[in-house]
Amino acid sequence: MNHQNGRKRFSRPTSHCEAMFKNMCISLLMEEQIKTTVAKAKELRRILEPLITKAKNGTDVATRRYLIAKLGNKNAIEKLFNVYAPKYKNRPGGYLRILKSGYRAGDAAPMAYVQLVDFEKTAQ
């Protein structure tokens, strides 16, 4: 049964899906903008926004350890706590922006840019 199991699997094993979204979260935190498919972008929003909220609301050791367990990249965690948490302190949510950017040439999959809100550059 698939009750209460709301994550999309994208025809991949669970471990591959978890690794893929962990890497996408790290890339987005480090680069502030990535390009991916629309479906993956919407799923990424469900994964990353609660992590940003957690970093914003708690700066204790337990929160830091939780985020290290979820992401595994200490540089991304430091950037999350030192740059994004103060930046989004008064924002109630909605830290990511999804900008649709046409279709991929190979399989016509709808593509999108995922940006952190207040990102200065425009989509290329």
Query: pLDDT tens for residues 9-46?
Result: 888 998 999 999 999 999 999 999 999 999 999 999 99
| Topology of the domain covering 14-116 | 50s Ribosomal Protein L17; Chain: A, (3.90.1030)
H and E: helices and strands count for the chain: 5, 3
Instruction: Give residue-wise pLDDT tens across range 40-96.
Output: 999 999 999 999 999 999 888 999 999 999 999 999 999 999 999 999 999 999 999
Q: Are 96 and 114 in contact (CB under 8 A)?
A: yes
Domain range list for the chain:
14-116
